[in-house]
Amino acid sequence: MDYQINYIGKKIKQNGKVLTGKTVEHPKGDLVCSLLNVKLTDRHCLPEELFYWIGEYLSTDHIEARNNIASWADLFGQRSIQSEISLDMSCNFIYFIRSSIMEFIQEEVSSQRISAMTLIKLTRELDSLFQLVTSTITELYIDRFSLTKFALDESAEDLSITLKELADLKNALNEAAIFAITDSNDEISYVNEKFCEISKYTKAELLGQKHNLLNSGFHPDIFFREIWQTIQEGRVWKGEIYNRAKDGTCYWVDTTIVPFINANGETYQHISIQYDITEQKKTEEILRKAEKLSLVGELAAGIAHEIRNPLTTIKGFVQLLRKSHEETKLLYADTILEEIDRINFIVSEFMVFARPHANYYTECNVCDILHSVINLLEAEAALKDVILMREIPQKSSMIRGEKNQLKQVFLNIIKNGIEALPHGGHIKIHVHDYQSELVISIQDNGIGMSKDQIKKLGEPFYTTKPYGNGLGLMVSYKIIQNHHGNISVKSEKNQGTLFQLSFPLIDSRSS
């Protein structure tokens, strides 16, 4: 996970008690703690535990931490129900916790300790976690309501909750959710005030009507047929619906529909519990646009990096043309034309992001590609007192791939090796078959890298060079992945670096 997110996660864990104190500054937050008999002086009180697990998840990205958050929500929901705390009050308390975290993160952004892009990522991660918490708590309340209804239908003697508790559950649903009851003919028999507020219809206008009164035309007919079929089969339906209000405005609702079944196994009515997520949807759209803009920036930097390499080669050969004899000019001209073709290919690859197209892989002789790359770089290497040593077999080593993309990978890695030898040295390029794979080793005796540097290789904008941008290796890693290959890096400071690439041989690939 991003190191800035890791940093925020650790800070949240360290400041759990402080954040808990801010949460209970809200009057309703203090009331919930009081009803749950939570003592803030305890070593690990209930709210502080949630801050701890959220911090743990952000700093480690472990699924165990996310599971612990779900377990915490289950415990909190059960204790809230036992303490007769309304669903509305429980959800508000969770919202206060989220607000405390967001205010804390905003302070970090204002102090420029984390970037705006990290804020966007954190918001997305936290929204996912708090959606997990609130949905877990809500489902507990729904289950409690369903158990209550089942008990009432079974027998008055087996009634397991009091009328007061039932009234509280109804009040909780009315206060916290957009709530409606629909009969077996799919006609609305009850709506609460929140339903009227969001739909802009009065109760009189809604009662006796079907829900297609709110149809926005966004969903296809099959979408609603599947909902109806699920309800008729006695199963709960969950999803998001885009509705149209009476005044023509549209809104999104996160919806849970719970059917009620009679003794004959038939659905005689169902309830819908909805939450307005229109603002959340708008935020998601803003985040998507921000991510697209960020991607455009990365691609622009990447294309500039990839084009700079062949332009440098062309410039060098043009300078050599001025001084060369007639017999060498033709060789230099061929190389220049080849590099111009490579620029054209790179620009074409850039268009993938504007207009998707399929890659066409053919049989590629990796040994021939490596010889071509080494011939291309030998002049640059000689100028820097670097010797390129080949241990490439004469036989053909065929894989399925795209020749120019593979050439791009080898160029990037070998050029990085040359730049890692400021005082000269050697780079050994070795090729061999291992079982059903072709293995290419590129090893230099240069300045090497630390373990932390190795871990960050392939990340956008991470580089060990003063004038690099890290995008060359990022592109290379993606190309290797698309070719079903693998890459590993071994390095030590002042001991050199070994890049090892492997690709499935063509005779081992399924047709």
CATH of the domain at 489: 3.30.565.10
Helices (H), 211-325: 221-232, 278-323
Contact 445, 407 (CB under 8 A): no
In which residue are the tokens 């509705």 written? 243
* Rounded-to-integer distance, Cα 462 and Cα 482, Å: 21
DSSP calls for 444-479: E-SS---HHHHHHTTSTT--SSTT--SHHHHHHHHH
Q: Which residue has the higher pLDDT, 71 or 1?
A: 71
pLDDT tens by residue, 174-224 = 666 888 899 988 899 988 888 999 999 999 999 999 999 999 999 999 999
Please tell me whether residues 271 and 283 are part of one structural domain: no
Q: Which two tokens stand for residue 247?
A: 């005044």
- What's the pLDDT at 323? 64
Q: What is the pLDDT of residues 464-481, one digit of tens each?
A: 665 554 567 777 888 888
Buried-exposed string 273-300: b where 16+ CB fall within 10 A, e elsewhere: bbbbbeeeeeeeeeeeeeeeeeeeeeee
Q: How far is CA 163 from CA 148, 167, 191, 268, in A?
A: 10, 6, 21, 23
How far is Cα 290 from Cα 402, in angstroms, rounded to an integer? 32
The domain tally of the chain equals: 4
Confidence grade of residue 105 (pLDDT, cut at 50, 70, 90): confident
Could you tell me if 247 and 342 lie in one domain? no
Q: Using one digit for the tens of pLDDT, what is the confidence trace for 223-256?
A: 999 999 999 898 999 999 999 999 999 999 999 9
Asked if residue 145 has pLDDT above 60, the reply is yes
187 in the same domain as 64: no
CATH number of the domain that residue 321 is part of? 1.10.287.130
pLDDT band of 504, cuts 50, 70, 90: very high
pLDDT mean over 72-88 = 83
């290789």: which residue's tokens? 457
Note whether 181 and 169 are same-domain residues.
Answer: no
Indicate whether 320 and 410 sit together in one domain. Answer: no
Q: Give pLDDT, residue 150.
A: 52
Other CB atoms within a 10 A radius of the CB of residue 100 amount to 24
Q: Could you tell me the residue range of the domain that residue 182 belongs to?
A: 177-276
Instruction: Specify the pLDDT at position 280.
Output: 84
Query: ∠ CA(267), CA(272), CA(275), 5° rounding?
Result: 165
Please tell me whether residues 489 and 403 are part of one structural domain.
yes
pLDDT, one tens digit per residue, over 270-307 is 988 888 888 888 887 777 766 665 666 666 666 666 67
**What pLDDT is recorded for position 322?**
62
Say if CB 181 and CB 269 are below 8 A apart: yes
pLDDT, residue 157, reads: 47
Say whether pLDDT at 48 is over 80.
yes
Distance of CA 437 to the CA centre of its chain: 32
Identify whether residues 414 and 296 lie together within a single domain.
Answer: no
Residue 109 has pLDDT above 90, yes or no: no
On average, the pLDDT of the chain sits at: 80
Q: Alpha-carbon distance 475 to 3, whole Å?
A: 21
Specify the higher pLDDT residue, 387 or 340: 387
What does the pLDDT read at residue 250?
93
Q: Which residues pair with 432 in a beta bridge?
A: 439
SS3 27: helix
Same domain, 302 and 156: no
Q: What is the pLDDT of residues 398-431, one digit of tens each?
A: 899 999 889 989 998 999 899 889 889 999 999 9
Q: Tell me the CATH number at 226.
A: 3.30.450.20
Neighbour tally for 481: CB within 10 Å: 12
pLDDT band with cut points at 50, 70 and 90 for residue 489:
very high
Residues 12, 138, single domain; the answer is yes
Q: Pairing state of beta strands 425-434 and 398-401?
A: unpaired
Together in a domain, 154 and 23: yes
Q: What is the mean predicted confidence (pLDDT) over 389-395?
A: 89
Strand 178-183, strand 188-191: pairing: antiparallel
Q: Residue 301 half-sphere exposure, CB side, CA atoms within 13 Å?
A: 16
Q: For 197-215, b where at least 16 C-beta lie within 10 A, e where not — what string?
A: ebbebeeeebeeeebeebe
Q: In the 8-state DSSP scheme, what is residue 158?
A: G
Which residue among 175, 202, 219 closes a domain?
175
Domain boundary among the residues 215, 241, 276 is at 276
pLDDT in tens, 352-367: 444 444 567 899 999 9
Among 355, 390, 406, which residue terminates a domain? 355
Element (H, E) at 325: none
Residues 241 and 292 both lie in one domain: no
| Amino acid 152: pLDDT | 45
Assign 330 a pLDDT band (cuts: 50, 70, 90): low
Phi, psi of 160 (to 5 degrees): -110, -5
Q: Is the pTM of this model over 0.85?
A: no
pLDDT at 355: 44
Whether residue 374 sits in one domain with residue 510: yes
Which comes out higher in pLDDT, residue 500 or 313?
500
440: pLDDT confidence band, cut at 50, 70 and 90? very high
| pLDDT for position 404 | 87
Please give the pLDDT value at position 485.
92
Helix/strand/coil (H, E, C) string of 97-126? HHHHHHHHHHHHHHCCCCCHHHHHHHHHHH
Phi and psi torsions of 448, nearest 5°? 70, 180
Q: Which residues contact 464 (CB under 8 A, 6 or more apart)?
A: 449, 453
158: left (phi over 0), alpha (psi -120 to 50) or beta: alpha
DSSP H/E element including 485: none
